Amino acid sequence: MIKCIIVEDETLAQDVIRSHLQRTGRFELAGICNNALEAIEVLNKQEVDLIFLDIQLPGMTGLNFLRLLPNPPLVVLTTAYAEYALESYEFNVIDYLLKPISFERFAKTVNKITDGRLFTQVPKETGNATGDHIFIKSNSKFFKVNFSEIIYVEGMKDYLKIHTADYRLVTHQTMNEMEKILPARQFIRVHKSYIVAVAYIKTIYGNSIEMDKATIPVGINYKEKVMNLVGRKLQ
């Protein structure tokens, strides 16, 4: 599931977006915020993949809120005013939805999010190859992503979330497929839902691995593999 928040001060608009999200069945709604300050509190407490953001908010506009975020999630702007469309391109938003938002228009945005940032199919043997990158398809273009950029991969039912320092990507691939794609010397699977880059591990303690801005659980079935990694590093 793709974790998202709604930042919107109008109750009717909140209800419409929430209803559309439930209808798609692809999103986990982590919170509804009435203003930018509430949204900042949520983002400080948990990682969010996507923000549905109203431009006209009390106290601080949605665009000024985005200017405060050093590493914002994906953003879909929602507004009743078409004149902000040009300014919104500065923030590389996924889409710009005009109120009232129909489900048909909303569904097109969902398709951009779920189908527009997918890993291409890579041969299974790639995981043992000496290459240093994979390609990501986005809006009919292919972008190169170096393995060195990937911090960890998180499994979410039908999706994977790939975390880097600068962005997060969502793909339909399985954990088993991704494990075969990633180079075994650089990555280790530590949980049924997590693969981590060895280079980004800070500490290993108990059943947890501390990464940059994240603590990853170690599954019981993967504990021996993790401890073998520690043993190799200590030799």
Least confident of 17-26, 131-140, 210-219, 221-230: 131-140
Per-residue model confidence (pLDDT) at position 87: 63
67's tokens:
């200017």
- Would you state the pLDDT for residue 151? 94
Per-residue model confidence (pLDDT) at position 120? 35
Determine if the peptide bond prior to 100 is cis (ω within 30°). yes
Domain boundaries, the chain: 2-115, 117-234
What mean pLDDT comes out for the span 177-206? 91
Q: What is the pTM (predicted TM-score) of this model?
A: 0.55
pLDDT bracket for residue 16 (50, 70, 90): very high
pLDDT in tens, 150-188: 999 998 766 788 888 888 777 767 888 888 888 888 999
Is the predicted pLDDT of residue 118 greater than 50, yes or no? no
**With 70 as the cut, is the pLDDT of residue 95 above it?**
yes
> Which pLDDT value is given to residue 88?
61
Q: Assign 3-class secondary structure to the chain.
A: CEEEEEECCCHHHHHHHHHHHHHHCCEEEEEEECCHHHHHHHHHHCCCCEEEEECCCCCCCHHHHHHHCCCCCEEEEEECCHHHHHHHHHHCCCEEEECCCCHHHHHHHHHHHHHCEEECCCCHHHHHCCCCEEEEEECCEEEEEEHHHEEEEEEECCEEEEEECCCEEEECCCHHHHHHHCCCCCEEEEECCEEEEHHHCCEEECCEEEECCEEEECCHHHHHHHHHHHHHHHC
Q: Token pair for residue 20?
A: 């559309």
What CATH class has 117-234?
mainly beta
CATH code, residues 2-115: 3.40.50.2300
The whole-number pLDDT of residue 48 equals: 87
**Once rounded to an integer, what is the mean pLDDT over residues 15-19?**
97
Residues 208/211/214/216 CA torsion (nearest 10 deg): -30
Q: If pLDDT is split at 50, 70 and 90, which confidence band does 26 have?
A: confident
Looking at the chain, the whole-number percentage of residues with pLDDT higher than 90 is 44
Dihedral sign (CA 28, 194, 138, 140): negative
